[in-house]
Amino acid sequence: MAFRWGGQKVATAATTVIAVMFTALLVLLGLWLNESYSSSVRRSGERATAASKIVATNASWINALAWQALQRIDDALGPDIGVATEAVRDINASVANLPGEVQAYVVDRNGDTLFSTDPAIKPVNITDRDYFSALAKGARTYVSSLLVSRLTGEQIFVFSRQLNRNGQFAGAAVVSFQGKLLEDVWKTADLGPGSTVGIIRRDGQLVARYPVPAGPVDMSGYVLFTELLPKAPSGIYNATSPADGVRRVVAYTTVEGTEFVAIGSADAGVGLARFWSDLFIAAAVLSLATIGSFAAGTWIRHLLARDAAKSARLAEALEENQLLMREIHHRVKNNFQSVQGLIRTQQLPKEIQQSLLDRISAMIAVHEQIYSRDQFKNVSARDLIPAVVDTLLVACGDRVSVSYDIDDIAVSADHATPLALLANEVVTNALKYAFPSGHSGVIAISLKPLSSNRACLVVSDDGVGFDTAMATTGMGTRLIRGVMGQLRGDFIYERKNGTVFTAEMEIVEPIQTDISSGSDTALW
């Protein structure tokens, strides 16, 4: 049971250590992933913001150049615009400084083409276009949303200016830019796959975007215009694009002095690529830690099972040894009893016969104490001495009593038999000589420790006393000297209101310290 309990404690401690380490790993990985996610989102937002500022700079520049070009066209036309004929006249000089592939033309009050940067172009009527009809209704300038050119089929956006002559609407000057004009801006921003840059009118109509969308997009009901722009002129948000349905991190900023909102956006998934990589690493580490913890737990269970089996075998062997020791001491006791039986059959003087029987009874008491209490290493002096003495009192009846003052001292098995014989001889002498002719009295027996391995035995009586001169000649005295030699002790008889026997002796083997090695070694 002790082995099993020790194994359980080891298992609990090992499991606790593994659980604490695994929890610490989870916490560290969680903190790392949280920082990685926050950093990825922050970087995506910063890059999108930078892109939106680049777009805003280009939009402001395009806006300024477009209006300057339209002013130059207006100034170059002279006081009379006239109406369109079959020929389209050249105005390339008026738009020479505009960026990219720019188409500029002038239409008369009827919406027909008068001048163009490409005189060979086929004349087109634009009365149905908002950028013309708005001017015809009185607007001085107009910026279109994303359009599809009737001449080239490409996506464009248009700046238009009202032309007035003599206080009358005389036509419109128009400059158009291709939507893919933002391609260079997109490359410069380098936001990665899935990113976009764009220009939106403040009423929510898409003006230009790269990569180019499928067509015009009305974003007036989009979160940017319903919630964000009314609160702040610039910012960052996450949303699904109404142009292509992709979720992105979007940065926006209004372009001062224009009708534009500049947009830069990065694909949310691409922006989190580093986080997903870190997440994969964390998952791999966690998987390895889980496998390691499982392997450690399995190994611990294996060790515990092995230790439990070993403990069970040891416990079984210990039980068998205890059984054998009990059997040995029981058999020794039985053999002593057989010897007593043989002695009783011999024709010996009664006194000698009883002396032998008493001494054998003392030895029997030792073996009985050992096997009956499973005390194979030590015997309790508090149990042993009364077991020896009480047998001697049977023949005395009630006339002699014994009082005991014996500490609970452990006596080694090797010292138990000499101690039992010593007590037997001393008490036998007291019963024989202290109370002649049927006198009554009291015998007091005391055993007190002197050190860790020595004790003092005192046996006193209130009888007539004992002639100490007899202590040098009797068989009992010689036996006492013999056992005292075994116990490495000394004894003395004194006359004090009776007889007092005092002996100092070993009760266990002393422990000797080996100074050279620092170890404790028993003296044998």
Q: State the pLDDT at residue 3.
A: 47
Name the token pair of 515: 């100074």
Bond preceding residue 119 cis, omega within 30 of 0: no
* Residue 416 near residue 366 (C-beta atoms within 8 A): yes
- What pLDDT sits at residue 90? 58
- The domain boundary, picked from 208, 238, 270, lies at 270
Using the 3D structure, point to which of 270, 298, 331 is the last residue of a domain.
Answer: 270
**Rounded CA gap, 355 and 395, in Å?**
13
Count how many domains the chain has. Answer: 2
Residue 304: inside a domain, yes or no?
no
Partners of 159 in the beta sheet?
Answer: 143, 175
Query: Which among 489, 470, 466, 353 is positioned nearest to 418, based on CA atoms?
Result: 489
* Amino acid in the structure at residue 42: R
**Residue with the two structure tokens 């008369």:** 108
User: CA nearest 65: which of 96, 106, 90?
Assistant: 96
Nearest to 119 by CA among 90, 144, 139: 90
Order of strands across the sheet with 234-240?
206-210, 196-201, 260-267, 247-254, 234-240
Q: Supply the pTM of this predicted model.
A: 0.55
Pairing of strands 206-210, 196-201: antiparallel
Task: Give 154's contacts (C-beta < 8 A, 6+ positions apart).
Answer: 148, 178, 179, 180
246, 322: one domain: no
Cα(204)–Cα(236) distance, rounded to whole angstroms? Answer: 17
Please answer whether residues 276 and 44 qualify as being in contact, where contact means their C-beta atoms are separated by less than 8 angstroms: no
Residue 373: predicted pLDDT: 61
Compute the distance between CA of residue 505 and CA of residue 487 in angstroms, rounded to an integer: 5
Q: Are residues 119 and 173 in the same domain?
A: yes
Residues 213 and 329 in one domain: no
Beta strands 260-267 and 196-201, pairing class: antiparallel
Within a domain: 297: no
Report the pLDDT value the prediction gives residue 156, as an integer from 0 to 100: 92
The HSE-up count of residue 457 (CA atoms within 13 Å, CB side) is 29
Is the separation of the CB atoms in 36 and 278 below 8 Å? yes
DSSP label at residue 374: T
What sign results for the dihedral spanned by CA atoms 384, 387, 390, 391?
negative
- Do 180 and 38 share a structural domain? yes
Residue 77, CA distances (Å) to 14, 70, 94, 140 in order: 93, 11, 10, 17
Q: Return the bridge partners of 169, or none.
A: 164
Number of H helices, E strands in the chain: 10, 21
Asked if the structure places residue 335 within a domain, the reply is: yes
End residue of a domain, out of 270, 305, 333: 270
Do 25 and 133 fall into the same domain? yes
Same domain, 251 and 396: no
pLDDT in tens, 235-290: 999 888 888 888 889 999 999 999 999 999 988 777 777 777 888 898 998 888 88
Q: Are residues 212 and 341 in the same domain?
A: no
Residue 78 lies in a domain: yes
Indicate whether 295 belongs to any domain: no
Strand spans (E) along 179-320: 196-201, 206-210, 234-240, 247-254, 260-267
Domain assignment of residue 189, given as a range: 1-270
Three-state helix/strand/coil letters over 441-485:
EEEEEEEEECCCCEEEEEEEECCCCCCHHHHHCCHHHHHHHHHHH
The residue assigned the tokens 């920082």 is 35
| Statement to judge: residues 199 and 342 lie in one domain | no
Among candidates 35, 15, 14, which has minimal Cα distance to 282?
35
Render 424-441 in DSSP notation, one character per residue: HHHHHHIIIIISGGG--E
CATH code for the domain in which residue 388 is found: 3.30.565.10
| CA 514 – CA 523 distance, rounded (Å) | 11
Q: Is residue 293 part of a domain?
A: no
Estimate to the nearest angstrom the gap between the alpha carbon of 355 and the chain centroid.
76
Crossing angle, helix 350-373 and helix 381-393, to 10 degrees?
150
Exposure on the CB side of residue 301, measured as CA atoms within 13 A? 6
Are 242 and 126 within one domain?
yes
CB atoms closer than 10 angstroms to residue 410: 14
| Rounded alpha-carbon distances, angstroms, from residue 83 to 127, 136, 171, 174 | 14, 15, 9, 16
Q: Which of 380, 377, 366 is nearest to 408 (CA)?
A: 380
Other CB atoms within 10 A of residue 103 CB: 21
Write the CATH number for 189: 3.30.450.20
Q: What angle do CA 510, 511, 514 make, to 5 degrees?
A: 140
pLDDT at 455: 94
Q: Is the residue at 245 inside a domain?
A: yes
**Same domain, yes or no, for 500 and 422?**
yes
| CA distances to 53, 365, 411, 420, 422 from 383, in Å | 101, 10, 11, 11, 15
Contact 499, 493 (CB under 8 A): yes
Does residue 437 lie within any of the structural domains?
A: yes
Q: Which two tokens stand for residue 177?
A: 């830019």
Residue 300's nearest CA partner among 496, 5, 13 is 13
- Is residue 117 domain-shared with residue 45, that is, in the same domain? yes
Positions of the chain with pLDDT lower than 50, given as ranges: 1-3, 87-88, 513-524
Task: Tell me if 507 sits within 8 A of 412, measured CB to CB.
Answer: yes
pLDDT attached to residue 517: 41
Are 256 and 341 in the same domain?
Answer: no
Burial class (CB in 10 A: 0-12, 13-18, 19+), 250: buried
